[in-house]
Amino acid sequence: MKIETLAALQEARTKRRAVTLATRLSDAAEGLIYRDATAGELGGNAEIVAAAHRAMEIGRSETLDIGGQKVFLNVYVPPPRLVIVGAVHIAQTLAPMATMLEFDVTVVDPRGAWATSARFPGVKVIKEWADEAFQEMGLDVSTAVVTLTHDPKLDDPALESALKSEAFYIGALGSRKTHAKRKERLAEVGITEEMFARVQGPVGLNIGAKSPAEIAVSILGQIIEVRARRLGALAAPKVVAA
């Protein structure tokens, strides 16, 4: 490995940019393949670039035979991120639990009395409207978004913005009735039924969760499940009884 390659991998992480390092095993020749750019000797090989894009898509590192040569594709995707909209009571339990699961956690709430570091020690707290905060942070394929405010004026713009992003998980707290009304309101701003289907609502796995901690477990369980399925770690889709 070249020291410049190592620096590029570290920079990609800081910028939350997905990258695949291709290494030819016979001579350790390298190439860096990003979604929209390439670098290094192997970065000029179309077959390797195409294979690297596929590997990044499913987030899986693997060794392939390309043109009679063994090439190892090591995928470096940014760590998963959880963005919690609403610095509410449930968020105070959800944030530390998600941190334990190695999520990079951010809490977003424009209301100053709620969005304080004292209420969320050790977690990034952004005191802004969610849609504005999302634009700055950029919701990528390794980001999960959960809205918890119950307030349409805070939740709706957040969901609208999240649905236009690549976020792998979008969940919204609220009953079936609340969720149906939410769908109607978002339809008015151009969110089709098909787009809205990405929103997990009522949020979380159906485990009879009642307390904030139980609800946090049900939400995180669902995020883990969706993520594992996306990464191909869960073979067959499970049918969840209604």
Partner 1 sequence: MSDALEVLDQVGKWKEAGKGVAVATVIVTWGSSPRPVGSQLGVDDSGAMVGSVSGGCIEGAVVKEALDAIKDGKPRLLDFGVSDEQAWDVGLACGGKVQVFVEKVN
Which stretches of the chain bind partner 1, using CB under 8 A? 1-3, 6-7, 9-10, 13, 23, 25-28, 60-63, 72, 74-77, 79, 102
Q: What is the DSSP string of 144-169?
A: EEEE----HHHHHHHHHHHHTS--SE
Nearer to partner 1, 6 or 228 (CB): 6
Nearer to partner 1, 104 or 225 (CB): 104
Nearer to partner 1, 27 or 136 (CB): 27
At its nearest, how many Å lie between partner 1 and the CB of residue 64?
Answer: 10
Q: Are 66 and 49 in contact (CB under 8 A)?
A: no
Nearest Cα residue to 154 out of 88, 222, 82: 88
**Other residues' Cβ atoms within 10 Å of the Cβ of residue 194:** 7
With vertex at residue 239, the alpha carbon angle to CA 170 and CA 184, rounded to the nearest 5 degrees, is 40
Strands (E), 67-191: 69-76, 81-85, 104-108, 124-126, 143-147, 169-172
Nearer to partner 1, 60 or 230 (CB): 60
At its nearest, how many Å lie between partner 1 and the CB of residue 62?
Answer: 6
At its nearest, how many Å lie between partner 1 and the CB of residue 22?
Answer: 12
Q: Reply yes or no: is the peptide bond before residue 96 cis, omega within 30 of 0.
A: no
At its nearest, how many Å lie between partner 1 and the CB of residue 162?
Answer: 23
Nearer to partner 1, 65 or 188 (CB): 65
Measured CA to CA, the distance from residue 152 to residue 12 in angstroms comes to 36
At its nearest, how many Å lie between partner 1 and the CB of residue 12?
Answer: 10
Backbone angles phi, psi at 32, to 5 degrees: -110, 125
